[in-house]
Each structure stands twice: as structure tokens, then as C-alpha cells.
Structure 1
Amino acid sequence: MATPRARQPVAEQVEELLAAGGPLDIVAAGDPVLRRPSEPYEGQLGPELLARFVEALRLTMRAAPGVGLAAPQVGVGLRIAVLEDPAPVPEEVRRVRGRVPQPFRVLVNPAYEPHGPERAAFFEGCLSVPGWQAVVARHAEVRLTGQDDHGRALDEVFTGWPARIVQHETDHLDGTLYLDRAELRSLSSSEAMARRWSQPTPAAAARELGFRLP
């Protein structure tokens, strides 16, 4: 019987990823790393390597492009995520979805909890599930706790679309994909989204595809 190969230290893994330069490869659904709870960050990378890794996550997120990226999405099972949203959307979309610009943020060991009972449902996509979107009902407001990449405590309430991004990226760190929470009858290709469901809310899609909204 073969002896199991020792797991590669995460610092070595990250060094190998960064050695290639440029945006990192994004892991697609079906890779086990997206289904495992991530290991809490406890200094495994050291300050200099962490800074380089965070910069690579930022570069990769912007190149994709996306509004958030979690470490497991580049194959690294650490509780680290980044988000940034310039929110270049029409006024009606901004108003209905609560989508407002978000500066670049680094989330280390983040966790969220509902902040109020309201839920909101909108189409959502994922860089690890390219070409598809589905409606997900999420908390309209959440309290985020954790740290930033310099070890400073985070304790902030997010509402609207920023709250959705926080939940989506933190879920990745728990091994949860947005499809686990989605109305699967709403699952639509990018082509169908552009042709049929580009409205600010998914009300028309709910009527036509036969699913409920909260």
C-alpha cells in the first residue's frame, strides 16, 4: 500500500503560485478545495508573503473581473478573502440592489451574522462557476467580524450589495458555493441573463421560471 504523500506546507504552495507572476488561476467548481472549510490564518505566510499573496488576489480579482475573491478560489485553503466593488451600475440598479462602491478590503478569518430579519433575493454569479447565474436569497444586512491583513480587528455592519459580497466570500471559506443557497429553477446561462433577465430585480424570472422570492 502506498504511503500518503505529506501535505505541502501552505507557505510553499503560495510561493509556487506567486512564482508564475501575473493573475493566478481561478479554481472551478468540482475541485475539492472549494468544498473544504478553510484553515484559520494564524501567521502561516508571514507578513511579507501575506502582502504578496494579498496583492496577487487583488490582481486576480480585478483581471477576472470580479468584486470578491477568496483564497480557496486560487487553491489555497486559508481563511483570507478580498473584495472591491467600483459599482459601475445604472442608478435604478444601485437603488434597488443597494449597490454602492466599496474600497479594496482584505478579510482575514471573517465571520458574519444576520443584522436584522430582512432578506433580499437577486441573481448572483461566481468566478468559480463561470457562465452561470442563479437567484440567491441572502440577509439584507450582516455584521462582519474578523481582522484585516495587518491584524487590526474588523467589526462592521454591511447592507445591500456589499452585504451580499461579504456573505458570498465568507461562504467560500466554509466550503459553501452560492449554488448551495440558490433557487435552482432560476439557474441561467450568461446568454440568457443578457437576453432575458437583465432587470434590476428577479421578479420576471421568478414568474417565468417558477420559483418564489422572499
Structure 2
Amino acid sequence: MAIRKIARMGHPVLRQPTTPIADPTDGEIQRLIADMKETLADAEGVGLAAPQVYATWSVMMFFVPPSRAAEDANDDGVPLTVLVNPEIEPIGDERVGGWEGCLSIPGLQGYVPRWRRIRYRGLDERGAPIEREAADFHARVVQHEYDHLQGVLYPERMTDMTQFGFVEELMRHPAGAPDDV
């Protein structure tokens, strides 16, 4: 396992759609997943997609810590989940805004509208099918990481660029700033 460098906004690897994975148990894919787990832990993030570590495969991972799950009335959180070849679909029409950051856009946050509830499916790292419904923060994290697999970064989803800035400035001038920065 190795901690990989994280690609930052502006690098072309973050702009291209990923390639589906034929066999999640392939040795190269298993090494990538192991490296991504170590990189995510080192970066202290809640999600990571393969393009963020310069890989063009369709794999992402995320978790929801209990502190964030409590906001969604799901006190247990969501354990680290590896999702290969994911698909998502909205459940209902409701969208909600929330503050997001990204390991590929360090030091910045923006207010992003997302589907409140989604269904996602794919394969786990052993090739077993996963299908779940998610709401609120859980749904937000999944949509954010899924966007990386499509070559989309969260500022492209924003509808009001006045709600985009450096975390330290947003904390200093809290009018309209995130509560959890």
C-alpha cells in the first residue's frame, strides 16, 4: 500500500470520464483500492475517487462518520464503502444545498445543490453487488464522488458563485458561511 499524491483542480485527469472495471478483484485494481484507502485516511477526507489519485478507473470510496450521520437521523454512520462502476439515480425531486469541500480543491468550499435522496448501485471491492438508498449527507458524499468519475468538480454544480471561497475567509466572515467549516 502507498499514499498517493492527490490531483488538484486544473489537472486533466479530473476532467475525463472514467473507464468501467471488468474485474474488481484484478490485482491492479486491488492495489489501487488499497492505495486509495491509505490516501483517504492520510488526507482525513470522507471520500475519494480514482481520478483524484491519477487513475482513470471507475472506482470511488466514502464513509459517513457518526457525527455527520446524526444530522441525518442515522446515528451509526456509514462504514467505508468501496463502489466500483457505480450508478446513481435521484429519488423524488427534492434538492437541498450544502457546503462542500474537496481534496482536489484544498482550502476552498462552496454551497452546492444536490439531490436530497438517491439510490446507488455498483460492486464492492470483491465484486459483490451493492444497492442502497441514501439521504442528506450520505447522498451528498456519494454524488460528489460520483461526479469525479464523470469528470465533474463541485464548483460546476454551484448556482451562486458568491458562496464559494477560502475556508479561513468563510470562517472569518460567517454571513452565509458553512456552520461546519
Q: Fold match, TM over 0.5?
A: yes
After TM superposition, the score normalised by the length of structure 2 is 0.89
1:68 maps to which residue? 47
User: For 1:117-132, what aligned pairs fall within 5 Å after superposition?
Assistant: 117-132=93-108
Paired residues of 2:25 and 2:126 also in contact (CA < 8 A): no
Could you tell me the percent identity over the aligned residues? Answer: 35
Structure 2 CA distance for aligned equivalents of residues 118 and 22 of structure 1: 40
Name the structure with the higher strand share: 2
Q: Distance in 2 between matches of 1:165 and 1:109?
A: 16
Q: 1:37 aligns with which of 17, 24, 31?
A: 17
Q: Which residue of structure 1 lines up, in the alignment, with residue 149 of structure 2? A: 173
Please, what TM-score do these two structures have when normalized by structure 1?
0.76
Matched, 1:188 2:168: no
Unaligned runs of 5+ in 2: none
1:133 and 1:188 in contact (8 A); partners too: yes
Pairwise CA RMSD: 2.0
Give the unaligned 5+ runs of structure 1.
1-20, 201-214
Query: In terms of Rg, which structure is larger?
Result: 1
Written as runs of structure 1 = structure 2, the 5 A alignment for 1:194-213 is 194-195=171-172, 196=174, 197-199=177-179
Shift in Å at residue 99 of structure 1?
A: 7.3
How many pairs align? 175
Deviation of the 1:49 alpha carbon: 3.1
Q: 1:53 to 1:162 in 2, by over 3 A?
A: same
Which residue identity is paired with 2:64? D
What one-letter code is carried by the residue in structure 2 that aligns with 1:70? A
3-state DSSP class of the match of 1:131? Answer: strand
